[in-house]
């Protein structure tokens, strides 16, 4: 919000300068115009957020943005509006959203593509499900997003979690550019290595576990497949 307010104020100042007839005044304020341009550039890059910036942390609700790294983990910031920062530990599973996929009968579907389809459907008027939705409603909803999802491996808890993530990300991402251009992502690749390297134990394939009642009864773990 602070960044948006700053941009608005800078735009007002810039428009004022453009509408000033005094050429000498404009000339005298070339430095201010340059500062304005630099601040816009910095603000734009600061606001750009990609799936490679966002993680799910086991034991922590919601989603978090990667803001730094340390020798034995990462530093993340909550995307729930509190902006609370905390370090991850070696005992926590950290999953980058860019590495998550969901099972289909034809293989794995990247979360990036699923989110794009979901966003397009919502923009077209599709109503989001809630925790109060029935099992049949949850699955019927997801078939409109990913028709060939594997009903045996994608649980209702996964679909509900996907929707909760979408609600968090809806006003934070450009759904036309969910993945950062590769040339700009080297630092984040290093951060991923920091997050994954220390622990040698086998990494579970499902991200964060939850219970949910689906068609065949209670499914014990989720299958938002990480990495």
pLDDT tens digits for range 84-111: 999 999 899 999 999 999 999 999 999 9
Higher pLDDT, 80 or 184: 80
For the stretch 37-69, what's the b/e string if a residue is b when 16 or more beta carbons lie within 10 angstroms of its beta carbon?
A: eeeeeebeeeeebbbbbbbbbeebeebbbbeeb
Question: Would you state the CATH architecture of domain 51-95+180-203?
Answer: Roll (2.30)
We find that the CATH architecture of domain 97-173+207-226 is Orthogonal Bundle (1.10)
Q: What number is the average pLDDT over the span 41-60?
A: 77
Percent of the chain with pLDDT over 90: 53
The segment(s) of the chain belonging to CATH 2.30.30.730 are 51-95+180-203
The pLDDT of residue 138 is 98
Is residue 212 within 8 A of residue 150, CB to CB? The reply is no
**pLDDT-derived band of residue 137, with 50, 70 and 90 as boundaries?**
very high
Note the pTM of the prediction, 2 decimals: 0.66
Q: Which tops the pLDDT comparison, 205 or 153?
A: 153
Say which range, 24-38, 78-92, 152-166, has the weakest mean pLDDT.
24-38
Q: Which residues contact 160 (CB under 8 A, 6 or more apart)?
A: 129, 131, 138, 212
């Amino acid at each position: 919000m602070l960044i948006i307010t700053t941009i608005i104020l800078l735009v007002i100042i810039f428009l004022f300068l453009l509408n000033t007839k005094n050429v000498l005044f404009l000339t005298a304020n070339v430095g201010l115009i340059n500062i304005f341009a630099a601040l816009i550039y910095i603000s734009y890059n600061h606001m750009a957020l990609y799936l490679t910036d966002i993680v799910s942390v086991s034991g922590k609700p919601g989603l978090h943005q990667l803001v730094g790294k340390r020798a034995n983990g990462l530093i993340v910031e909550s995307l729930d509006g509190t902006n609370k920062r905390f370090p991850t530990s070696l005992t926590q599973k950290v999953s980058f959203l860019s590495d998550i996929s969901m099972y289909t009968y034809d293989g794995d579907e990247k979360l990036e593509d699923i989110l794009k389809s979901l966003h397009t459907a919502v923009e077209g008027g599709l109503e989001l499900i809630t925790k109060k939705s029935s099992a049949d409603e949850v699955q019927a909803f997801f078939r409109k997003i990913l028709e060939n999802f594997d009903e045996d491996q994608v649980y209702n808890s996964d679909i509900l979690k996907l929707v909760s993530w979408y609600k968090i990300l809806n006003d934070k991402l450009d759904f036309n550019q969910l993945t950062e251009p590769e040339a700009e992502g080297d630092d984040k690749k290093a951060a991923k290595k920091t997050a994954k390297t220390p622990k040698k134990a086998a990494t579970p394939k499902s991200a964060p576990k939850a219970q949910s009642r689906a068609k065949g009864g209670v499914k014990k773990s989720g299958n938002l497949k990480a990495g």
